[in-house]
Amino acid sequence: MSEKREGAVPHLSAEEFRRLGHRVVDWVADYWARLESFPVRAAVAPGEVMAKLPAHPPEEGLDGEAGWEAVFRDLEEVVLPGVTHWQSPSFFAYFPSNASGPAVLGELLSAGLGVQGMLWSTSPAATELETRVLDWLAELMALPASFRSDSGTGGGVIQGTASEAVLVAMVAARDRVRRVLGRDAEWVAYTSTQTHSSVLKAALISGVARDVADSVHLRQLDTDAGYALCPDALERAIREDLAAGRQPFFVCASLGTTSSGAMDPVRSVVEVLGRTGFTASGGWVHVDAAWAGSALVCPEFRALGEGLEGVDSFAFNPHKWLLTNFDCNVFYTRERQALLNALSVMPEYLRNAASASGKVVDYRDWQVPLGRRFRALKLWLVLRHYGARGLRAYLREHVRQAELFAGWVEADARFELAVPRSLSLVCFRLKPLPGEASSDTDARNRHLLERLNASGKAFLTHTVLPGVDGAPSRYVLRLAIGATRTEERHVRAVWEQLGALALS
């Protein structure tokens, strides 16, 4: 390490950074290689990690390589025991949170460049690379041409998460309807009971909903028997609100709900909005495809996106199922001016000739925060490394594995599918025993999940699906296949373990 003098700031030299950087990359590569040796879910008690950390910050910095040895030791002894291993091939919980070599290298490049890409002028490459990469992605997914930057009116932007995307869409929607009507109103947004909680949070943040129980200004509508948004229920709700003097302005449809992977009928929703006058008043329909949107890369799954040409915005998370590490949400709109109208603020210290010319994109006006990282680098490297063929092969293999698992469930008299398989998501449970109360069936399924997860060999999560036609709700296990390194052997292993536990 370099010689230090009293009062000097102990920056790493280029050579020191190079040596440590090599070691960190080696550590990550070794971590990926030994993922299967760890219990998938962290087996620590609350406060256990903090108890291993000093109560006070260090006065002195690390002293040479010996000091960094302590860092790597702490990674092994403090950090790893408290990590739930989302990259484990036996991680089947929630939805996946992919990471891949190209994406991690892109993240490293982004961190090393340290770009603040709020304006085109603050780093033209950060803006123009993002614009081109998102047009590539729109082409790969066969999205409507109106979502591309070269449409003249639309375009894409990388947000942090789907939650940020829905908030941006809701704020833009309210502003657009306000401009069309020329007045303020008592606003009403619509979604289904199965839509992600981010829609409720967006309504709270934007002031549309008064509190979490506000069912007047955020209408969470009942679904059909397959847990998809019911167009007839949406139409009734809109007409009721118009008759009561309230103003419908925003609808969020889902492609791949969190609980069951349900697909809302986007085309039918758009037709309802046209019939009710919602569209004519400037109302906005947003499609949240956070998990399932990646599947549109495969031509055989594009029927899921029927009707997207009639929506105002569409968002999905490459950080879920497209090999791009968190955070990376892709948000497309066919009316970028609506975002600018709602979100653009121009203090004097941000004024510059390029922005004033109107010839450049300033992505700060397409999002909630001002600052933004160079996230396009990791998506760019993923698309370049895997190509369309590699991405399709990856997605198709996970769907194939889910088909296998669903078939095993259907062939076993002890289990049943709770809903039909949705892409790579399988929702299943132990069947009710003859004469068994629904609460007892739920308890058996809960116990099965707890024992499976406690084993450390795999990690699944659950949901509760509402009953249909007066039937009781059901506690359901979810197997979400999508981890970068998951192979058929991992899926077979978790099925065999579930079968063994069900016997004990």
Nearest-angstrom CA–CA distance, 504 and 483: 29
Edge-to-edge strands of the sheet including 461-465?
A: 415-417, 425-430, 474-480, 461-465
Query: DSSP code of 76?
Result: I
Would 172 be classed as within a structural domain?
Answer: yes
User: Taking the alpha carbons of 194, 197, 199, 204 in that order, is the dihedral positive or negative?
Assistant: positive
- Give a yes or no: residue 475 inside a domain: no
Total count of residues recorded for the chain:
504
Six token digits for residue 421: 């398989």
**492 contacts 108 by C-beta, under 8 angstroms:** no
> What is the C-alpha separation between 236 and 254, in angstroms, rounded?
19
Q: What is the pTM of this model?
A: 0.93
pLDDT, one tens digit for every residue, the chain (504 residues): 445 556 688 888 899 899 999 999 999 999 999 999 999 999 999 999 999 999 999 888 887 767 899 999 999 999 999 999 999 999 999 999 999 999 999 999 999 999 999 888 889 999 999 999 999 999 999 999 999 999 999 999 999 999 999 999 999 999 999 999 999 999 999 999 999 999 999 999 999 999 999 999 999 999 999 999 999 999 999 999 999 999 999 999 999 999 999 999 999 999 999 999 999 999 999 999 999 999 999 999 999 999 999 999 999 999 999 999 999 999 999 999 999 999 998 887 888 887 888 888 889 999 999 899 999 999 999 999 999 999 999 999 999 999 999 999 999 999 999 999 999 999 999 999 999 999 999 999 999 999 999 999 999 999 999 988 888 999 999 999 999 999 999 999 999 999 999 987
* Residue 131, H or E segment: helix 124-140
Tokens linked to 467: 């009953």
Q: Is residue 76 part of a domain?
A: no
Q: How far is CA 159 from CA 13, 154, 156, 227, 374, in A?
A: 34, 16, 10, 28, 11
Q: Does any domain span residue 366?
A: no
> Angle 488-503/438-454 helices, nearest 10 degrees?
130
Query: Under a CB-based contact definition with an 8 Å cutoff, are residues 329 and 160 in contact?
Result: yes
The three state secondary structure string of 176-187 is HHHHHHCCCCCE
- Edge to edge, what strands does the sheet with 218-221 contain? 155-159, 329-333, 313-316, 284-288, 247-254, 187-192, 218-221
For residue 3, the model assigns a pLDDT of 53
Q: What's the CA gap between 170 and 196, in Å, rounded?
A: 14
- Residue at 411 is within a domain: no
Q: Do the Cβ atoms of 180 and 347 come closer than 8 Å? A: no
Rounded-to-integer distance, Cα 260 and Cα 322, Å: 20
Q: What DSSP string runs through 382-442?
A: HHHHHHHHHHHHHHHHHHHHHHHHHHHHHH-TTEEESS--BTTEEEEEEPPPTT--HHHHH
The total number of structural domains that make up the chain: 1
Cα 52 from Cα 61, distance rounded (Å): 19
Task: Let me know if residue 88 belongs to a domain.
Answer: no
Q: What is the DSSP letter of 463?
A: E
Please report whether residue 207 resides in a domain.
Answer: yes
Q: What is the pLDDT of residue 159?
A: 96
Whether 80 contacts 49, CB under 8 Å: no
**Residue labelled with tokens 């497209």:** 322
Distance (Å, whole) CA 152 – CA 146: 8
Query: In this structure, is residue 375 part of a structural domain?
Result: no
CATH code of 208's domain: 3.40.640.10
Omega into 327 within 30° of 0, i.e. cis? Answer: yes
Helices (H), 39-88: 48-51, 64-74
DSSP 3-state of 367? coil
Instruction: Give the domain extent around 271.
Output: 145-346
Q: What is the pLDDT of residue 10?
A: 85
Q: At 53, list the tokens.
A: 């950390």
DSSP strand E in 246-384: where?
A: 247-254, 284-288, 313-316, 329-333
**Beta-strand pair 425-430/474-480:** antiparallel
